[in-house]
Amino acid sequence: MIPLDQAVVARLESHGERFEVLVDPDLAQRIRQGEEIDLEDVVAAIHIFSNAAHAERAADEDLLKVFKTTEFEPVAMRIIQKGEIHLTSEQRRHLTAEKRNRVITFISRNAVNPQTGFPHPPQRIELAMEEARVNIDPFKSVEEQVKEVVKALRPILPIRFEEIRIAVKMPPDHAARAYGELQGAVTLEQSEWQKDGSWIAVVRIPAGIQEEFYDLVNKLSKGNAETRILERKL
């Protein structure tokens, strides 16, 4: 469950009654978008309220009249999916700023300046968003908003999404650890162990994290790995 001070009210009014549940606004929105998320991770209390601000619980007879059950999970899910998410001004500002940072990070990690082949720094993306007067919706997914943001930024910033395929060879002394670390950090297209204990792989990464990837490879191999760019893909 989430802390009470991070929760907002999801409210559904039906049959002249009001039903509320305290939720994480981001996770609640993801449920509304069709994602399967454990309800216990979404809510701040296992109660259906008639007035959450005053901790007044909904009466069983009202729950039965509207939902045909008093069980928490089906009632809470219906409230989240069909009701309204209510934010205070401060909560909306906080969520909008958080979502804005996630959008900026996504663009910086996954897109490059096609003129240089390097990613735009987050601060440059943020300034361009301010110049383009981009509005962020705290309830829309990052992926959905990235398309809109990039479209608004293109007249200001040269920007292109690109992936890189890189061949990597790890020496025997560092191969096992490198395999464990890299398989969770990149997309492995090919993986092959050599007779001498070394490990060869072809990985695919967003172009924006190329420098970060090389730093990780050098750290894991103590600077002894071999790498070669095979292809850039749009």
State the CATH number of the domain containing residue 195.
Answer: 3.30.70.240
Q: Give the H or E element holding residue 97.
A: helix 89-110
Structure confidence at residue 233 (pLDDT): 65
Q: Which of 196, 195, 199 lies closest to 180 in space, CA to CA?
A: 199
Provide the strand spans (E) within 82-136: 84-86, 111-112
Q: SS3 of 176, please?
A: helix
Structure confidence at residue 56 (pLDDT): 96
Structure confidence at residue 203 (pLDDT): 93
Structure confidence at residue 34 (pLDDT): 85
Same-domain pairing of 23 and 70: yes
Structure confidence at residue 94 (pLDDT): 84
Same-domain pairing of 26 and 67: yes
Q: Give the H or E element holding residue 232.
A: strand 226-233
Over the chain (234 residues), the average pLDDT of each successive run of 10 is 89 95 90 89 95 94 96 96 86 87 91 87 95 90 88 92 91 92 88 94 87 91 92 67
Give the domain range for residue 46.
4-86
198 close to 147: Cβ distance less than 8 angstroms: no
Domain boundary among 86, 119, 150: 86
Structure confidence at residue 39 (pLDDT): 94
Distance (Å, whole) CA 139 – CA 134? 15
Structure confidence at residue 54 (pLDDT): 93
Structure confidence at residue 74 (pLDDT): 96
Structure confidence at residue 202 (pLDDT): 94
Q: Give 205's strand partners.
A: 164
Q: How many domains does the chain have?
A: 3
Domain boundary among 43, 60, 86: 86
Q: What's the whole-model pTM score?
A: 0.62
